[in-house]
Structure 1
Amino acid sequence: MNAMTRRERLTATLRGDPVDRPAVSFYEIGGWRPDPDDPDPFNVYNSPDWGPLLQLAEAKTDLIRMCAPERRPALDNCREEFFYSKTYMQDGSRFTRTELTVAGRTMSTLSRRDPDVSTTWTLEPLLKDIDDVKAYLQLPDQVFAEKVSTDAMRAEEEELGEAGIVMVDIGDPVCLAAPLFSLEAYTVFALTEPALFHRLLEQQARALYPLVEDISRQFPGHLWRICGSEYASEPFLPPRLYSEYVVRYTKPVVELIHRYGGFARIHSHGRLKNILPHILAMEPDGLDPIEPPPQGDMRLIDVRRLYGEQMVLFGNIEASELEMLPPRQFERRAIQALREGTMGPGRGFVLMPSACPYGRQISPDVLANYETMIRLVQDGSW
């Protein structure tokens, strides 16, 4: 087979067509577009350590650019009547406090961003008890009303050219609802108050579905990543509730994407064995990141054998393996993933890690491990 462009390879993979070699993605590296020249002290990517890795991703990986549409409040949006946010600096960190006043009740949430870590920590969740939930449910739907524009995504696709594809990145209703709580409060609430949790999911779904259809109509035929599944997977919730909380509310998202010729990829960290039949019920086109044990509970070869003809499999490199394994040991691990991900019949496979480093330092071994992923797929030495 003749060599394919990176766009051709990814498009053929999604369609289940033959490819010249497996695609390789560094996930968020090359997925996001950080600016290493931005001097913002909270931009970890301006560290010199990041330069070679960012350049490697842009030049050599099959780029799956993770994009979201431009969102703005709809004309009837009334969010400012209920929510107030302020951001301030303290001890070198950036804090954001948001207050919600509704139904005679005031709730607040607090988050922190540190300059050397590319993540945001929730220090105080918004919803702390059942009375908070009941008040939150009294928010009018107009609070969540938004309009979207896909102009920036189309521009990104044009700029990418044959280097890759654009992927729309969204959260499903459970992804929008669960972070309103602390993780422990969420699991208890979802287990013990199913009627109220369904109402919360329905509230989020009413806002989400029109947005998904609008984006799909404006930007048809593209790959989507749908986040949220893991919130309802084991060990957090039993599989019976996965069907209740994910399949019921996320399958309509998949159907809207399919209606306009798009491809839906379910993002679900951790255990898969007991929820995979439910995932298949949503008829997605792809699944990531298929983490190996002990983070996951299935080998890639078994996922491929049981479900690989229905879905493109994206994975199965654990982020900690990239960061902790010495290069020779990592090479053996990457070879295993490539062999298991392509063994026997299947729709397609993309070699990909479960996440990326989120600090300022990239060690020589970590860079070497990323380079190994490229070398293996390009020279076929696996």
Structure 2
Amino acid sequence: MMTYRERMLATLQGKPVDCLPFVPRLDLWYKSNKLRGTLPAKYRHATLKQIIEDLDIGYHTAIPDFHVYDDSLDIVDRGLGIWRVKQIPWKAVMRNIQRNITYSGDLTTVEYITPQGTIRTKILYDDVMRNAGITLSHVAEKAIKSQDDYDAIGYIFENIEVLPNYDWLLEFKDYVGDRGIICGPANQGASPMHEILHELMAYDLFFFEVYDHPAELKRLAERMRPYYDKVLEAAAHSPLDAVMVGSNYDIQITWPEFMGEHVTPYLAAAAEKLHTAGKYLLTHTDGENKKLLPYFIEGKIDIADSICPAPLTSLTLKEVRDAFAGTGITIWGGVPSVAVLENTMTDYEFEAYMDDLFDSIGKGDHLILSIADTAPPEMKFSRLERVAKMAKEFGAVNP
């Protein structure tokens, strides 16, 4: 019998596996229910890993726990897209920048004082997020408010030293063991420009800036490029099996022309670097991917993480699989989160949906089944057990 790690690696390589791997993301579900005392009775005092082992499913590591910090500054630089989470294979150290940090309840305000101007961000992490199991804090005030902030942001990123951060990853890899592969992020954006859109600027402002100040915006992205490259370099030489480059794509925000210019070339370059280092390239495709799938193919990605099919988006799982057929791209996802909620699907509708889903996956190759984006806190637990059983009953996968 294969281990989950062996199944996942074989799936990525297009090799036969003894059963369809089911590796759902359960961290938010676990944290929320643990905090509220609503875990299933038999798991009331269990760790997440113990639950995973008892269910005999894989350990999902594609998205970090954003509250397992490696630094006393924790979320301080969250507004710049800079993390200090242990699962991230790099650490940012700021040089020649003064920071004024103010804490007010659940709100963290940070001022970055540079020779080229002052930048302010505000980060929120409150009880609503805690009760939902969310570990990702919210950027209540973005770093860039206008073109006037470009020089200061450029200066900040030019004065960041990127250091390897591998020690905890080695421990984590040992902890997960044969239950899965180890993943971790490089940057949330697939490129410097995507990083600006994703982390530094409000969406509406970004769209105006693309048309009002395109040359200045591109210059800022160029100034950020060395930082971006250093982060990818650190990730490429880390203990990770798969590196996440880029996340959260949507036809209304990352439109096709943007993907072609600012995403696909950078994914392809990252793929070359990571493949040379023996790593897989994972991108977090959560969102409406209609008309965007060709750009992931051209980007030479290995893993399309968090594929959320209809009814969450307009694309069915079969349509995504058909688009990726023959490309070597593995889908990690496939079961929409609404399917495991009683208030959106009855038991009858759930069974019918899952029957259709399994009928649509053909041989099952290049598929790591998961609940996308994540198992919600109010998930009906018996449905998780049901999907796990169906994955085993699918039988061997022979591409």
TM bucket (normalised to shorter chain) is 0.7 to 0.9
- Name the SS for the 2:286 alignment partner: coil
- Which one-letter code corresponds to 1:57 in the other structure? I
User: For the aligned residues, what is the CA RMSD?
Assistant: 2.8
* 2:123 matches 1:111: yes
Partner of 2:338: 320
Superimposed CA distance per residue, residues 225-283 of structure 1 (whole angstroms, 9 cap, x where no aligned partner): 223351xx411243112111112333322222111111112212223232222211111
Aligned pair partner of 2:369 in 338, 351, 356: 351
Q: 2:35 matched to which residue of 1? A: 46
Q: Indicate which of 168, 173, 185 corresponds to 1:169.
A: 185
Identify which range, 323-332 or 5-14, moves more after superposition: 323-332
Q: Which residue of 1 aligns with 2:57?
A: 61
Contact 2:92 2:163 in 1 (8 A): yes
Q: Which amino acid aligns with 2:108?
A: T
Partner of 2:280: 263
- Select which of 294, 297, 303 maps to 1:277: 294
Query: Does structure 1 retain, via aligned residues, the 8 Å contact 2:247–2:286?
Result: no
SS at match of 1:205: helix
Query: Could you say which residue in structure 2 is the equivalent of 1:377?
Result: 391
User: In the alignment, residue 56 of structure 1 is paired with which amino acid?
Assistant: I
Query: Amino acid of the residue matched to residue 369 of structure 2?
Result: L
Q: Compute the displacement of 1:147 (Å).
A: 0.4
Which residue does 1:330 correspond to in 2?
350
**Alignment correspondent of 1:40:** none
Question: 1:63 touches 1:164 (CA, 8 Å); kept in 2?
Answer: yes
Instruction: Say whether the 8 Å CA contact 2:90–2:235 is kept in structure 1.
Output: no
Structure 1 residues 204 and 248: CA distance shift in structure 2, 3 A = farther
CA contact (8 A) 1:95 1:110 kept: yes
Q: Deviations over 1:73-105 (max 9, x none)?
A: 45xx416x243323331xxxx111111223453
Contact 1:242 1:278 in 2 (8 A): yes
Matched residue, 1:228? 247
For residues 334 and 303 of structure 1, what CA distance do their matches in structure 2 show?
16
Q: Is the 8 A contact 2:89 2:234 kept in 1?
A: no
Alpha-carbon distance in 2 for matches of 1:237, 1:33: 29
**2:313 matched to which residue of 1?**
296
Q: Give yes or no for the alignment of 1:241 onto 2:258.
A: yes
Task: Report the Cα distance in structure 2 between the residues aligned to 1:16 and 1:276, rounded to whole angstroms.
Answer: 20
Residues 348 and 141 of structure 1, relative CA distance in 2, 3 Å threshold? same
Residues 144-159 of structure 1: pairs in structure 2 closer than 5 A: 144-159=160-175
Check conservation: 1:87, 1:95, Cα contact below 8 A: yes
Larger relative contact order, structure 1 or 2 (CA cutoff 8 Å, min sep 6) = 2
Structure 1: which amino acid aligns with 2:263?
V
CA–CA distance in 1 between the matches of 2:272 and 2:388? 34
- Report the secondary structure of 1:127's partner residue: coil
Distance in 2 between residues matched to 1:307 and 1:56, nearest whole Å: 33
Report the Cα offset of residue 354 of structure 1.
1.8
- 1:26–1:57 CA contact under 8 A, matched in 2: no
Partner residue of 2:69? none
Answer whether contact 1:331 1:372 (CA < 8 A) is retained.
Answer: no
Secondary structure in 1 matching 2:140: strand
Q: Is the 8 A contact 1:269 1:289 kept in 2?
A: yes
- Give runs of aligned pairs for residues 135-214 of structure 1, distance below 5 A: 135-139=152-156, 141-142=158-159, 144-170=160-186, 171=188, 172-173=190-191, 174=193, 176-178=195-197, 179-214=199-234
Please tell me the residue identity of whatever aligns with 2:15.
Answer: D
Find the counterpart in structure 1 of residue 68 from structure 2.
none
Cα distance in structure 2, aligned partners of 1:331 and 1:200: 50
Indicate yes or no: 2:173 matched with 1:131. no
CA-CA distance at 1:12 after TM superposition: 0.6
Structure 1 residues 319 and 85, CA gap change in structure 2 (3 angstroms):
farther
CA distance in 2, matches of 1:290, 1:215: 23
Runs of at least 5 residues in structure 2 that lack an aligned partner in the other structure: 65-86
* Partner SS for 1:108: strand
Q: AA paired with 1:113? A: Y
Change (3 A) 1:71 1:287: closer
Distance 1:190 1:56, change over 3 A: farther
Q: Partners of 2:313 and 2:211 in 1: how far apart?
A: 22
How many equivalent residue pairs? 353
Given the superposition, is the C-alpha separation of residues 337 and 223 from structure 1 closer, same or farther in structure 2, using an over 3 Å criterion?
A: farther
2: CA distance, partners of 1:88 / 1:15 = 49
AA aligned opposite 2:59: L
In structure 2, the residue corresponding to 1:316 is in which secondary structure? Answer: strand
**Cα distance in 2 between the residues matched to 1:338 and 1:225:** 27
Cα displacement (A) at 1:5: 1.3
Shift of 1:215: 2.9
Report the CA distance shift for 1:300/1:357 in structure 2 as closer, same or farther (over 3 A).
Answer: closer
Question: Cα deviation per residue 1:100-128 (whole Å; 9 max; x = unaligned)?
Answer: 22345333121211123224232221211
> Is 57-66 or 6-15 further displaced after alignment?
57-66
* Structure 2 counterparts to residues 71-110 of structure 1, below 5 A: 71-73=90-92, 77-78=94-95, 81-89=97-105, 94-103=106-115, 105-110=117-122
Please list every run of 5 or more consecutive structure 1 residues that lacks an aligned counterpart in the other structure.
37-42
Shift of 1:285: 1.0
